[in-house]
């Protein structure tokens, strides 16, 4: 069974529907890097029934709309203490099923530690979804100044829900925590604006935050994230509420092929919209019709509204989150910016995880890349559990006043957790690494007057993975890039073998000088860690015996080109997100943009590589390379273009990195 990844993994945070959904996806995509289920007895309906009693409520909001919540209250004697207990709540658009007070889930939370400690777990269907009344609005804009009871948003809905729960659920200690992953992460962030005083701890996890200017689900650098967006909206469909709780989410969409490259190449974006509309109303059209930073996107940037946050906040994300990569840091920074007198803690935790990967996986690897530790297990046990215990149950938390550092970051490459008192960390300085003639990459500035060119053909776009896939495999975020570097339409620049470690901690900022024969083009920049050819196979037994993989000369990771960060940028947005401008064919033009942060060490003996290309398909929609409205582009507007990247002293190109000095 294939489910949309955002639908599936966001439901990790819906405290009542976790285990079954994870199991379906894990079976469908083995080795994909997605969370795996466990056989722990906590993950069983029988265990939940023996320890919790379920109740359901229709909670009245200030405008008269009633929202559904399911409540799981600890049974007397089920835990070491008999309460009173704090609430731990998630609000979700993905259903709080199974509905019915006699229907129990296989898990009340993805954390065994929290489940066995005793909380009043609450799951709420958000306004306009499943058993809740009202109208659903995609990333409902926050209302900063409310003029009356008709002005409702997700902050007011949470406030009213907390008021109701405190009065109607017995044996509570008056404290509320809220958490959620992905879309429920957005609702977590929205719920702590002008927050109810009873909310003492909040953990937005992979929160959708800014779908246009960030590197979250919809647009990256002005380019539409086609495969993930279309795949999501085949299942995430409008509802007339309250709906039958057993109604399907939209059902599986028949692509007619298991090759997504073939499927998306066959149809341009406007045709995809028509395919969806055959199924009835769709939210996909909103995404692709608003291709600039317009009045649809601006009020949906939640980071501009994170005011009056009074609770302790621990925002969580993954370095390899293919869906909501910038949401965690953008949320963390916004809370600091708009709440300078915040007495409570505001911290950010980022590990080597995919979207929601901290919730159920071991977090010890992604695809072929290993991290030498069960990082997700460590996070759940040593970071998340003490956070909620401390702020919701007053449990002692270490010797210091602050239980967590400002930034708790996993450093890939060295595979170690780092604690920082700010992010980017003190000492990190911007440093340019330049493209040179002959495919060289160096921290030394270039000389002379040189350039490199390639022909970009939108009818033969560069794929983002080397294998056939019917979804967006999350392992692509660390996949081997050798397949791309062998193409004639991909430029490759690489350093000499590093003589010492190079640690990059912060945003990556490509600074290119380009020209094109077209009036618009994309420029995809990929930062890559090139392993030495004698790098050992991660399977220790095979390595010890000197076994080769399929008879190949190097071992599995010998010469591996690990993607560390990659992002597209649509050239027409080089000067403005609101008013795109055509390229002037043949004219040298500066393209400067920021890519999401990394915390990665390129080890001594490795090389740093940068690849530049003009398509990344079907992860990103095709640019026809004609200045036009891309969703409605006609076939004849898709044209070849010669792209030139300048590498000389008069027009240098390269990537700016935040480099930490080595100890």
Question: Does the structure show a pLDDT above 90 at 274?
Answer: no
- Residue 550 pLDDT: 42
Q: How many residues does the chain have?
A: 663
DSSP state of 87: E
24 band by pLDDT with thresholds 50, 70 and 90: very low
Rounded distance, CA 65 to CA 185, Å? 23
Nearest to 393 by CA among 471, 312, 458, 456: 312
Q: Phi-psi bin for 182: left (phi > 0), alpha (psi -120 to 50), beta?
A: left
Convert the pLDDT of each residue in 464-491 to its tens digit: 999 999 999 999 999 999 999 999 999 9
Structure tokens at 131: 């058993």
- Residue 399 pLDDT: 52
What string of DSSP letters covers 73-85? EEPTTSSSS---E
Convert the pLDDT of each residue in 147-179 to its tens digit: 999 999 999 999 999 999 999 999 999 999 999
- Residue 658 pLDDT: 97
Main-chain dihedrals φ then ψ at residue 140, nearest 5 degrees? -50, 125
246 band by pLDDT with thresholds 50, 70 and 90: low
Summarize the confidence of residues 54-67 as an average pLDDT: 98
Q: 490 with 464: CB under 8 angstroms? A: no
Rounded distance, CA 555 to CA 368, Å? 12
**Strands (E) located in 603-662:** 607-613, 641-646, 654-660
Please tell me the pTM assigned to this model. 0.92
Instruction: Report angle CA 580, 581, 585 to the nearest 5 degrees.
Output: 145
For 433, other C-beta atoms within 10 Å of its C-beta total: 20
37 band by pLDDT with thresholds 50, 70 and 90: very low
Question: Does the structure show a pLDDT above 50 at 8?
Answer: no
DSSP state of 20: H
Taking CA atoms, 104 is separated from 5, 98, 111, 660, in Å, by 24, 7, 17, 50
With both helix axes pointing from N to C terminus, report the angle between 226-233 and 269-277 in degrees, rounded to the nearest 10.
Answer: 10
Question: Does the structure show a pLDDT above 50 at 131?
Answer: yes
Nearest to 184 by CA among 95, 73, 52: 95
Q: Could you give the domains of the chain? A: 5-420 (3.40.50.1820), 429-660 (2.60.120.260)
Structure tokens at 521: 């083009």
Rounded distance, CA 69 to CA 99, Å? 10
Cα dihedral sign, 186-188-189-190: positive
Rounded distance, CA 577 to CA 124, Å? 36
């Amino acid at each position: 069974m294939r489910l949309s990844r955002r639908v599936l993994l966001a439901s990790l945070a819906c405290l009542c529907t976790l285990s079954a959904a994870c199991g379906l996806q894990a079976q469908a995509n083995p080795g994909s890097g997605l969370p795996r289920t466990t056989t722990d007895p906590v993950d069983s309906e029988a265990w939940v029934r023996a320890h919790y009693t379920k109740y359901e409520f229709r909670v009245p909001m200030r405008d008269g709309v009633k929202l559904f919540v399911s409540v799981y209250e600890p049974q007397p004697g089920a835990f070491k203490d008999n309460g009173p207990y704090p609430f731990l709540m998630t609000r979700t658009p993905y259903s709080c099923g199974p509905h019915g007070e006699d229907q129990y889930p296989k898990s009340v939370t993805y954390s065994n530690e929290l489940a066995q400690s005793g909380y009043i777990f609450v799951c709420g269907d958000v306004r306009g979804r499943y058993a809740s009344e009202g109208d659903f609005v995609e990333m409902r804009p926050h209302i900063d100044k409310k003029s009356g009871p008709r002005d409702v948003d997700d902050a007011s809905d949470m406030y009213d829900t907390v008021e109701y729960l405190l009065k109607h659920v017995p044996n509570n200690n008056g404290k509320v925590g809220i958490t959620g992953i992905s879309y429920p992460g957005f609702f977590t962030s929205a719920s702590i604006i002008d927050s109810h005083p009873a909310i003492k701890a909040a953990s937005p996890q992979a929160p959708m935050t800014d779908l246009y200017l960030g590197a979250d689900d919809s647009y990256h650098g002005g380019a539409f994230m086609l495969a993930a967006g279309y795949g999501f909206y085949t299942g995430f469909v409008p509802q007339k509420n309250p709906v039958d709780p057993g109604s399907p989410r939209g059902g599986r969409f028949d692509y007619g092929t298991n090759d997504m490259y073939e499927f998306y190449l066959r149809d341009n974006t406007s045709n995809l919209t028509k395919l969806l509309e055959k199924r009835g109303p769709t939210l996909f059209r909103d995404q692709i019709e608003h291709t600039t930073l317009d009045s649809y996107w601006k009020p949906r940037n939640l980071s501009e509204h994170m005011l009056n946050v009074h609770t302790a906040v621990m925002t969580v994300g993954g370095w390899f989150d293919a869906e909501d990569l910038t949401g965690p840091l953008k949320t963390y920074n916004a809370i600091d910016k708009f709440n300078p007198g915040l007495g409570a803690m505001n911290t950010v935790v980022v590990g080597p995880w995919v979207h929601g990967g901290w919730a159920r996986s071991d977090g010890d690897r992604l695809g072929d890349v290993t991290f030498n530790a069960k990082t997700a297990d460590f996070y759940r046990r040593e970071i998340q559990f003490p956070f909620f215990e401390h702020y919701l149950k007053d449990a002692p938390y270490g010797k210091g006043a602050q239980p967590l550092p400002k930034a708790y970051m996993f450093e890939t490459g060295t595979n170690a957790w780092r604690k920082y008192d700010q992010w980017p960390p003190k000492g990190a300085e911007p440093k340019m690494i330049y493209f040179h003639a002959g495919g060289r990459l160096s921290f030394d500035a270039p000389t002379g007057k040189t350039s490199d060119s390639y022909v970009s053909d939108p009818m033969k776009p560069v794929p983002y993975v080397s294998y056939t896939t019917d979804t967006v495999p999350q392992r692509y975020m660390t996949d081997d890039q050798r397949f791309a570097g062998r193409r004639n339409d991909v430029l490759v620049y690489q350093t000499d073998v590093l003589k010492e470690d190079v640690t990059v901690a912060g945003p990556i900022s490509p600074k290119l000088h380009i020209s094109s024969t077209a009036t618009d083009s994309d420029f995809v920049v990929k930062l890559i860690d090139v392993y030495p050819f004698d790098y050992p196979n991660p399977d220790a037994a095979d390595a010890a015996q000197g076994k080769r993989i399929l008879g190949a000369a190097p071992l599995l990771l010998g010469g591996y080109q690990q993607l560390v960060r990659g992002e597209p940028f649509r050239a027409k947005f080089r000067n403005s997100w609101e008013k795109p401008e055509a390229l002037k064919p043949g004219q040298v033009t500066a393209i400067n943009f920021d890519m999401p942060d990394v915390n990665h060490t390129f080890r001594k003996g490795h090389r740093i590589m940068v690849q530049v290309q003009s398509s990344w398909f079907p992860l990103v929609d095709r640019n026809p390379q004609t200045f036009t409205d891309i969703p409605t582009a006609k076939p004849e507007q898709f044209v070849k273009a010669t792209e030139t990247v300048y590498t000389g002293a008069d027009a240098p190109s390269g990537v700016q990195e935040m480099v930490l000095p080595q100890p």
